[in-house]
């Protein structure tokens, strides 16, 4: 009881902070560090009960656990899960039922995963508590099964957003946050501005999935720029302070000039992405490693353990990560330090070298 109510309060504080930041009331440099330290200190208390470290440590008010105690590995892999429709009647391998989605979120919560956005992943802003594992939940195509507001202004029952909030309320430490890759019309086309603002104000990322969802390799460079800049304009007209710093490629296909997905300009709108997301088919490298390639960030399709290409799906990959915890990203609880075991085969990228600290793993 105490834990969950405390967590609710800390979630509200965080939401308030995020919206304060969103309103631009704080200076840019101050809010970035203020937000992450506030978020990590406020969520630590609420989630230690479910972290592996806490079960073996003594006083709850003692120092944060050392990287060795929690087996921190901030060069490990991060699953970026890809969802399309959440529907009682799946029509393809891309659809999942509300029950399947709820069960997958519960599994993630029970295995100490904490959702972050793709924007935070790509920018290396990972503020999850010590001993937990970041996961990114992504939704393509902006369908009404993912999000719509009901007549009382709340997310409609059994939408992805409603289910995420329900699971977060039941699992202290699990966050209802995700990245939505928007195309037109967003969420059925009704009340678009209000819907996009609601998502932004509740900590969900608004990402780019182009205006008309074309296969970008079939389009001219100017049409590619128009498709991406045009969608960005649609988002920022509704939510002027939206960051729009990541894109998911329609059908996972790059334009012929791949860098056009990363940055460009059309009709006076400039776009610049920290990450370009693909469709398949493995966990993503930590953003702090040399393997991180902003033009090719892999995702994993949400899927059960059997059926078409299940070996590339989420159930099989989550099983593999659970069986091989050393390969997985485990947080040290300090967003400023990148901790990794000295026997790691991965090395930090140059631009993160100053923040990286290796430690001697326990036998
Ligand atoms: Zn799509």
Burial class of residue 299 (count of CB atoms within 10 Å of its CB; 0-12, 13-18, 19+)? buried
Radius of gyration of the chain (CA): 20
Residue 186 Cα to ligand 1 middle (Å): 12
Q: What is the domain-level CATH number for residue 74? A: 3.20.20.370
Residue 203 Cα to ligand 1 middle (Å): 22
The pLDDT value given to residue 348: 97
271: three-class secondary structure by DSSP: strand
Taking the C-alpha atoms of residue 203 and residue 137, their distance in angstroms, rounded to an integer, is 13
CB-based neighbours (< 5 A) of ligand 1, an ion: 140-141
How many Cβ atoms from other residues are within 10 Å of residue 1's Cβ? 5
The pLDDT value given to residue 308: 81
Burial class of residue 21 (count of CB atoms within 10 Å of its CB; 0-12, 13-18, 19+)? middle
Residue 143 Cα to ligand 1 middle (Å): 10
**Residue 277 carries which DSSP code?**
E
Contact 279, 252 (CB under 8 A): yes
**Residue 139 carries which DSSP code?**
E
Burial class of residue 287 (count of CB atoms within 10 Å of its CB; 0-12, 13-18, 19+)? buried
Residue 139 Cα to ligand 1 middle (Å): 9
Q: Name the phi and psi angles at 23, rounded to 5.
A: -75, -10
Residue partners of 354: CB distance under 8 A and separation at least 6: none
Residue 83 Cα to ligand 1 middle (Å): 10
Q: Give the structural domain span for 223.
A: 4-359
Taking the C-alpha atoms of residue 73 and residue 66, their distance in angstroms, rounded to an integer, is 12
Domain count along the chain: 1
Cα–Cα nearest to 301, from 88, 137, 165: 137
36: three-class secondary structure by DSSP: helix
Residue 251 Cα to ligand 1 middle (Å): 6
Residue 187 Cα to ligand 1 middle (Å): 13
- β-bridge mates for residue 246, sequence order: 275
Residue 242 Cα to ligand 1 middle (Å): 20
Residue 252 Cα to ligand 1 middle (Å): 8
Residue 217 Cα to ligand 1 middle (Å): 15
Strands 263-266 and 269-272, sheet pairing: antiparallel
Q: Name the phi and psi angles at 207, rounded to 5.
A: -110, 170
The pLDDT value given to residue 62: 64
pLDDT per residue of the chain (363 residues) written in tens, 0 to 9:
333 443 443 444 444 333 333 333 333 333 333 333 333 333 333 333 344 444 444 445 567 799 999 999 999 999 999 999 999 999 999 999 999 999 999 999 999 999 999 999 999 999 999 999 999 999 999 999 999 999 999 999 999 999 999 999 999 999 999 999 999 999 999 899 999 999 999 999 999 999 999 999 999 999 999 999 999 999 999 999 999 999 999 999 999 999 999 999 999 999 999 999 999 899 999 999 999 999 999 999 999 999 888 999 999 999 999 999 999 999 999 999 999 999 999 999 999 999 999 999 987
| Residue 16 structure tokens | 């308030």
The pLDDT value given to residue 51: 42
Residue 141 Cα to ligand 1 middle (Å): 5
The pLDDT value given to residue 13: 41
201: three-class secondary structure by DSSP: helix
Residue partners of 27: CB distance under 8 A and separation at least 6: none
Residue partners of 353: CB distance under 8 A and separation at least 6: none
The pLDDT value given to residue 60: 54
């Amino acid at each position: 009881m105490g834990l969950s109510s405390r967590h609710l309060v800390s979630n509200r504080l965080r939401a308030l902070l995020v919206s304060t930041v969103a309103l631009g009331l704080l200076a840019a440099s101050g809010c970035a560090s203020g937000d992450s330290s506030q978020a990590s200190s406020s969520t630590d208390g609420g989630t230690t009960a479910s972290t592996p470290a806490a079960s073996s440590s003594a006083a709850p008010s003692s120092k944060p656990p050392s990287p060795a105690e929690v087996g921190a590995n901030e060069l490990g892999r991060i699953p970026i899960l890809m969802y399309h429709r959440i529907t009682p009647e799946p029509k393809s391998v891309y659809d999942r039922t509300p029950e399947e989605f709820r069960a997958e979120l519960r599994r993630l919560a029970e295995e100490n995963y904490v959702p972050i956005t793709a924007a935070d992943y790509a920018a290396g802003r990972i503020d999850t508590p010590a001993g937990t594992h970041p996961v990114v939940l992504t939704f393509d195509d902006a369908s009404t099964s993912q999000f719509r507001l009901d007549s009382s202004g709340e997310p409609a029952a059994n939408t992805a957003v409603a289910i995420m909030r329900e699971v977060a309320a039941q699992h202290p430490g699990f966050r209802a946050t995700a990245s939505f890759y928007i195309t037109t019309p967003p969420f059925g086309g009704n009340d678009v501005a209000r819907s996009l603002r609601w998502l932004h104000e509740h900590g969900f990322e608004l990402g780019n999935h182009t205006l008309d969802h074309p296969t970008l390799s079939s389009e001219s460079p100017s049409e590619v720029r128009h498709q991406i800049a045009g969608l960005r304009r649609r988002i920022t007209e509704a939510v002027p302070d939206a960051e729009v710093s990541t894109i998911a490629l329609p059908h996972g296909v790059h334009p012929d000039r791949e860098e056009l997905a990363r940055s460009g300009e059309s009709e006076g709108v400039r776009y610049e992405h920290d990450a370009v997301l693909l469709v398949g088919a493995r966990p993503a490298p930590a953003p702090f490693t040399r393997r991180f390639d902003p033009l090719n960030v892999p995702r994993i399709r949400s899927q059960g353990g059997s059926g078409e290409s299940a070996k590339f799906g989420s159930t099989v990959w989550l099983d593999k990560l659970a069986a091989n915890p050393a390969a997985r990203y485990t947080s040290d609880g300090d967003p400023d330090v990148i901790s990794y075991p000295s026997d790691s085969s991965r090395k930090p990228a140059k631009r993160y070298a100053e923040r990286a600290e290796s430690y001697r793993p326990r036998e």
